[in-house]
Structure 1
Amino acid sequence: MGYRVAVVGATGNVGREMLNILAERQFPTDEVVALASRRSLGTEVSYGDTTLKCKDLDTFDFTGWDMALFAVGSEATKKYAPGAAKAGCVVIDNSSLYRYDPDIPLIVPEVNPEAVHGYAKKNIIANPNCSTAQMVVALKPLHDRATIKRVVVSTYQSVSGAGKEGIDELWDQTKSIYNPTDDKPPQKFTKQIAFNVIPHIDVFMEDGSTKEEWKMVAETKKIVDPKIKVTATCVRVPVFVGHSEAVNIEFEEHLDEDEARDILREAPGIMVIDKREDGGYVSPVECVGDFATFISRIRQDSTIDNGLNLWCVSDNLRKGAALNAVQIAELLGREVLKKG
């Protein structure tokens, strides 16, 4: 016996990826429905070897459905998710709306699976920010061994994190560089993204950080340990898919780089590719379409006591969004609902 699953926002990049991953991982379903706004009514999306026609989210009745994977913005989530949850359908939400609600669990299954039982308070589970998700997968097993005091992270985030408009803008601007008569000024981003990097993701906050940077701080504390100090600089780079992060970690105890490498090799969801030679590391292009979070460049930081550096790369549309949501659904089914 399988689950009845709704994918909300099925025409977007993340929604389509959710459908792909549900099929790839053979998630036990009796029925899957693709939901989108009225303007996308009837649009066809792929689910494994079958094609689904999108239904109207505005008029959909969630009664009798087990789970809804939401891949729409916070405004649409605020409008539709409470009704779905009230109808008895567990909402797994990819937006930022519920991440900081103390009554709603924020989950990365490899890190804090026990938190899934907290879903019952509001019938909603939050999916973390893409940049946080991949980082905490790497932090947790190291934290369990040597207790992390502080994390300094610089991100190199792909344009797909800004949706289809971000991908289109990089593509169009790149072409326009070679065609001076076809100028493509910034629209989605604040500056030219082609052949450039932009140290600005989301809105600025009073302390000078951006909200993306604040998210990494708040979410790491909620998912891993509130005692961990985190400082982040988040940068948009001209890469289509795949987020990269340079992570500096300070521990309470000494942790040798070789032991850290061994710990990460055994940790769930991680693939260590770390050879000290040309090409002996993973770049974002190589991680696209993969389920794993890749770790490379593991080395001691000699400037502080008990410090390590590492390089972390993952497909942001997968682990950073769609894959993590499906893994939450799997966890929910295995630990709580137990139908599949």
Structure 2
Amino acid sequence: MVIWPRERAFAARAEAGSAGAMQALLERIDAGELEGARTDAASLEPFWTNRGPDLLRPSLQVAVGLADAAGTRVVAAPFRLEMLAAGHAPLLAALARAYGDPWVLELIGSWNSPNRSVAPDQLTCVSENLLPLCRTLRQHSADPIADGITGLVWESLWNRIERGMDQRHPTQRREYLGDLGEPLARELEAASDTLGAEIAESLQPLGEAAVELLVPVLRAFRLPPTQAKISIAHDCRARLAVIAGRPARAANDWSIPWTGCGCGRCERLAGFLASPSERTHEWPLAKLGRQHIHQQIDAAGLPLQHSTRRKGSPYTLVIKKTDELFRQEDLALRQAQSDLAWLIATFG
């Protein structure tokens, strides 16, 4: 036997079945029992957290019908930005009419707070829904809500772009930035002209590796060119022209530009790498020092072979430059030339 106070009957049933709780609230609203519905909605607060996407639509319907900011905040709070789709736009517009744009933007912003921001594996899904969602919002005269949502998505994207640019391993950086190309293209398609210009401007100061993001962005565009897209294309073309115009590495040039953590061991490694003629470096080094250098080489994806000769004390770290240095640079040069030819053919 389960017993609970009569005044907590709704909360007890709601904790056991979320969908049934929303249906019960909608029925009370339809019956005109607003005060009772508001009281019941407020009683959800202690446990109404982390709800699934299937509850977002009925929760927004309840939020619109309650006509009460406090109860609405409880009901509509436990969701995530990536759950939004075009079908939710009319309800968001209705909330904006009821409570004002700032209130709705604050609510949606809480869905994208630091501990609930868009998960990396959900970013593509968010981006795919973004354009139809924003189009529908604008059709319902909810432009500020559309602008606010695209702004939040841009914040998530920019955080990931910065993280990708900081990747030291060239292969990992290229893959990470390349995966952001399509989500950023969808963001630019949905963004207002003002936000698009801000995005294009934010990308300009990025380093040379930004082409690994810009080219996938331009290739992923589906809509006719916007001013932001044209600006990004010009920026990308200038970057590619620099890379594609570099002469091929001389056959006897084995220098590798690299900067480590700044410690003495990294400075010694950097000195060896900077030498155009030295190809092998034998370095008596204690275990912790060898581990540090191994980690630095692997983290940066340097074209080196590194092993330990286990003789003597301390053991000797043997580092050799490999032909991968030439292969990587030749591949990067040919890729830049190919991307530049495509860009010119596409954008003139």
TM-score normalized by the length of structure 1:
0.25
Relative CO higher for 1 or 2, CA cutoff 8 Å, sep ≥ 6?
A: 1
Structure with greater proportional helix content: 2
Larger Rg: 1 or 2? 2
TM-score normalized by the length of structure 2:
0.25
